A = this chain, B = another copy of it.
Amino acid sequence: MPGMSPAPARTSREAILVAARELLEEEGLDAVVMSRVAERVGVRGPSLYKRVPNRAALIRAVGDAVAADLGRVIDAALRPGSADAAEDIRTLGRAYRDFVRRNPNGYGLLFAHLEPELQADPDVLADLGRPIVATMARLVGAAGALGAARTFVAWAHGFMSMELAGSFRLGGDVDAAYATGIELILAGISESANRG
């Protein structure tokens, strides 16, 4: 028949991304091996290169997908019209932690310091911050919003980074420390806003 390909596609870029992300979460970044990804989607290693340029690009694309999911989580927590911005930040803090614990290795990809060619699109990451800045603006005004958002995000990210790395080894309740941290940051934010 005219228009019929001599060899129909047996997989898709989407299936490859899903397989790579599963492998990442199940066994870590080292397990994301081209031949293993290929096996999961039913082809051989070399066939992947029809859909992705190379392994680094595949991993970057997985990071972009994780970032997109995280963006949806952030947007769901922050309703622009809500009356209580501080409560939105609390909701965001909890949702953020839930997301990271459900996607630990994918999240690790977003802020991995190493090997820039594996890094997700920086513009996508920057966009994650915008709704948080907007919510902070409702809390402390436009002038202090960026600084407040950066402090909150740095704290939340640092906390999760350390929790995932198993760095909380001095005892105490980690759940409680997270809740305390949110309140401490919120207190510091309103304190700083009142002073300046």
Chain A interface residues (CB < 8 Å from chain B): 28-30, 104-105, 107-108, 111-115, 119, 122-123, 125-126, 129-130, 133, 146-148, 150-151, 153-159, 161-162, 164-172, 176-177, 180-181, 183-189, 191-192, 195
Contacts and interface: CB of A to CB of B under 8 A. Distances in A.
A143 to B, nearest CB: 11
A66 to B, nearest CB: 13
Contacts of A130: 170
B115 A170 contact: no
Copies in the complex: 2
A171 B146 contact: yes
Contact of A180 (B29, B126, B147): B147
Contact of A104 (B113, B155, B168): B113
A176 B151 CA distance: 12
Nearest to A190: B191
A155 B146 contact: no
A112 B113 contact: yes
Contact of A184 (B28, B112, B185): B185
Contact of A172 (B147, B161, B184, B185): B147
Contacts of A184: 147-148, 151, 185, 188-189, 191-192
A86 to B, nearest CB: 13
Contacts of A187: 187-188, 191-192, 195
Given A187-B195, A188-B188, 16 more contacts: A29-B115, A30-B115, A108-B113, A123-B169, A146-B170, A146-B172, A147-B184, A150-B168, A151-B177, A154-B162, A157-B158, A184-B185, A184-B191, A187-B192, A188-B189, A191-B191
